[in-house]
Structure 1
């Protein structure tokens, strides 16, 4: 029987994976690493997060304090001596500080804490698989390319944000320094919303599309493509990687690929349908960051109360990513039997409906914490 350690169960992707595993009938034991002062407090945090994915009270009741490992990757010494770790057979490491801000915990959690956890688990005799969730953006992709999986050899100045640099760094450290770790690196592309629940579990990144289309201008062409997948597809893929045979030391994209990625023009039309408005079409303008910053006087009317400085920083960061026009190959994942992802435009109406009453500032909080 599997004993599965999941980090990040109070987050977006970690929560979606935990939901999947709770719905399965086959026997396994879950051990959830949660920032908390007690197992009871940790259990309450996990249940509150999983409820956002539509789990019933009966399903949530499957989790008890015994499933909780209280600890924090920012201070791994608090939990690395817990004897329960020696019984773990599989690890799903979803935890990270996924902020595009300047959060001082990014390096401490994403690199130092993650590497110490991986080092500890590499010494567990019965460990069969350690799945580390990175990001497809960690390779600092070249614009206008189809990106395939490869080991990383990037420099700090190739990364726009500390988050992607931290993910690239810890991957390299694990591959080079932990030869006995049964490592699988999963690199999701851009994860936005849930194919049924929209942005109810998390509004991460969706607000960027709403912001750009409200302005009627951004830093990409409407015909540029973007590789977006829903969080439940990512969770299904991670579950597949958990159970697949002979994939040790593999790097795999979880992505929309060439067939399910979409253009910004398609997003514009889908957003308009969901909002009961006309698409921008020819009214859209590609602009540079200086021109975007000159629009700040329009922010309150378009977005409601917001911090202009943070909004402009967000535009600069996401504007860079939007104009990359890259797609991440998903051939490896499809070869394992994973079906293609739904297109962002197939479920975007759920994202619109679930965020209709939220301000831009409220939606941005999750990505700039």
Structure 2
């Protein structure tokens, strides 16, 4: 039986992974790193997050305080001396400050704390695999390309946000400084929604599409492609990588690839159909940031009560990503037997339904914490 340590189980992707592992608990012992003052408090937070994925209460109640390792990657020294770590056979490291804001903990958690944690786990003699979840954007991709799974060397000025730079940095540190760590770097592309539950688990990034199409203008062309996968597909892929044989111990994309990536025009049509509106294609304008800023007086009427400065900053950041027009190769994952992802447009209607009563300002809070 494997003993699997999951970090980030109270988050979006980590929660989806934990749901998968919990359903196969007869084959796994689970140890879940959770922030909190006590195991019972951590368990309550964890169960609340997993419930968003539609998990039955009877299954949630199989988790106990014994499954909880209280700790925080911001302060790894507070949990890395726990003797239970020495029995871990597999690590699924999903924890991170996944913010496109200026959160001061980005570097402390994503680089310093993550590296200290990985170094501690590299000393565990029975550790078979350490899956580190990064982001496909860590490679600072060149626009209009099919991005392959090979890049570890980037510079700070190539990165639009501190988050992707932090992920790239810790990947390089672990690869170069921890030769005994059985490291696999998994880089998901853009994770949006859930195939069955829409944005109920998290509205992360979905609001960007809603915002741009509501405004009728953005920094990309409608024919530009974007590589989006649902969180449950990403979790399934991570579960496969955890124990699959012959896994390339370097970088593996979890992405839509050429088969399942979609254009913004396709998203526009699917969004209009789901919301009962007319596609914006005929009136859509590709604009620059200055032109977006000129529209700020209309933000409150279009998006609901909002902070215009934060909305503009979000538009600038996500606008740069949107106009990259990149697709991430998923050849390695497919070779391991993983089926292609569903398309974003296949389940987008569930994202629309699950967010219809929320304002854009409310939805975007998760990405600017």
Distance, in Å, in 2 between the alignment partners of 1:294 and 1:151 is 38
1:363 corresponds in structure 2 to 363
1:7 corresponds in structure 2 to 7
Q: Secondary structure at the match of 1:281?
A: coil
Structure 1 alignment gaps of length 5 or more: none
CA contact (8 A) 1:256 1:341 kept: yes
Alignment of 1:265 with 2:265, yes or no, is yes
1:179 corresponds in structure 2 to 179
The structural deviation recorded for 1:62 is 1.1
Alignment of 1:293 with 2:290, yes or no, is no
The structural deviation recorded for 1:25 is 5.3
CA contact (8 A) 1:229 1:256 kept: yes
2:123 corresponds in structure 1 to 123
Q: What do residues 40-64 of structure 1 show as CA deviations (whole Å, max 9, x unaligned)?
A: 0000000000000001110101110
- What is the TM-score when the length of structure 1 is the normalising length? 0.99
2:163 corresponds in structure 1 to 163
2:31 corresponds in structure 1 to 31
Equivalent runs, 1:245-324 vs 2, <5 Å: 245-247=245-247, 249-324=249-324
2:53 corresponds in structure 1 to 53
Structure 2 alignment gaps of length 5 or more: none
2:332 corresponds in structure 1 to 332
Count how many residue pairs are aligned between Structure 1 and Structure 2: 369
Equivalent runs, 1:214-253 vs 2, <5 Å: 214-247=214-247, 249-253=249-253
Q: Secondary structure at the match of 2:282?
A: helix
- What is the TM-score when the length of structure 2 is the normalising length? 0.99
Q: Secondary structure at the match of 1:103?
A: coil
CA RMSD of aligned residues (A): 0.7
Large movers: runs of 4+ above 3 Å = none
2:105 corresponds in structure 1 to 105
Q: What do residues 163-216 of structure 1 show as CA deviations (whole Å, max 9, x unaligned)?
A: 000000000000000001000000000000000000000000000000000000
CA contact (8 A) 1:129 1:248 kept: no
Q: Secondary structure at the match of 2:363?
A: helix
The structural deviation recorded for 1:28 is 1.0
Q: Secondary structure at the match of 1:320?
A: helix
Distance, in Å, in 2 between the alignment partners of 1:88 and 1:242 is 13
1:41 corresponds in structure 2 to 41
Q: What do residues 313-347 of structure 1 show as CA deviations (whole Å, max 9, x unaligned)?
A: 00000000000000000010000000000000000
The structural deviation recorded for 1:250 is 2.5
